[in-house]
Amino acid sequence: MEEVNDKQPFLTHLEELRWHFTRSLCAICVGALIAFLNKSFIFDNIVFACKNNDFPTYIFLCNLSEKLCIKDMPFILMNVEMAGQFTMHLLVSFVGGIIIAFPYLLYELWSFISPAMYKNEKKISIIFFIFSFVLFVFGIVFGYYVIIPFSINFLSSYMISDVIENNIHFISFIKTITTIILTTGLLFQLPLCVYFLTRFNFINSKQLRQYRRHSFVIILIIASILTPPDIFSQILIGLPIFLLYEFSILVATLTSSKT
């Protein structure tokens, strides 16, 4: 009988988790439907906008210096699959659904873990979840206006021989964009992840400081891969990521002092 009672809390939590997951999935589906029905706006004004010369990032770089100016995108997008465009429409809609539903996903996550928190911890966690949403938006904006333009310009113009002409499969183009956007959005969740990992004693601020140099090298490598081979572009991308890491150390320090 005691064994049954011991299993009951676990089964109860599992049932709650199932409903949180179901509601989150429904929210993503609703967001995906909204994105799916706004096909022209999503693709013409967002997805393919970074291919145009009047994209805000290109205008900003041209105003800074003629050497940084990106005037042409020397490639053509093409489709060679019968269901290629429809498949990408579904993929972009799904990614859009995640972005649209993200505030609600955070709410569901908080609703699941908040019963295990003390009253003062709930107040702190609410602030962090709100801040998490703000960071997610910043991450998407950073990926869209900084990483994507540099990545597309570098990868599309990179040539190993003049014999090869860049006619890029639009599926590759879209997957690159969606991957970067989601990656940067999630990467900017680093402070929130550090908060919970520190809260449950998986890591501490001392460890983060200890591996700061290693992290800095990794950040520089990532920046060099994602940007053209000039120091300005690498700093433009590497600096925000490094600052995010430093902020995560601060979060870990504050969290450790309150636990």
Tokens linked to 81? 């699959």
* pLDDT beyond 90 at 8: no
Q: Please determine, for residue 215, whether its predicted confidence score (pLDDT) is greater than 60.
A: yes
Report the alpha-carbon distance of residue 82 to residue 90 in Å, rounded.
Answer: 14
pLDDT of residue 1: 40
- C-alpha distances out from residue 150 to 70, 136, 157, 187, 211, Å: 9, 20, 11, 18, 28
Calculate mean pLDDT across residues 92-116. Answer: 89
Average pLDDT, the chain: 81
Reported as a pLDDT band with limits 50, 70 and 90, residue 237 is: low
Structural domain spans, the chain: 2-188, 193-259
- Is the pLDDT at 160 greater than 70, yes or no? yes
Distance in angstroms (rounded) separating the CA atoms of residues 243 and 223: 14
Contacts of 122 (CB under 8 A, 6+ apart): 114
Mean pLDDT of 124-142: 86
Retrieve residue 38's tokens.
Answer: 């706004």
Distance from chain centroid for Cα 87: 22
pLDDT at 45: 92
Percent of the chain topping pLDDT 70: 86
Q: Which has the closest alpha carbon to 32: 178, 140, 184?
A: 178
**Phi, psi (deg, nearest 5) at residue 187:** -60, -35
**Structure tokens, 233:** 């572009």
Which of 45-49, 83-87, 114-118, 190-194 is predicted least confidently?
A: 114-118
Confidence category of residue 225, pLDDT binned at 50, 70, 90 = low
- Give residue 69's pLDDT band: very low, low, confident or very high (50, 70, 90): confident
Q: Can you give the pLDDT at residue 258?
A: 61
167-184: pLDDT as tens digits: 888 888 898 888 888 888
Confidence of residue 99 (pLDDT cuts 50, 70, 90): very high
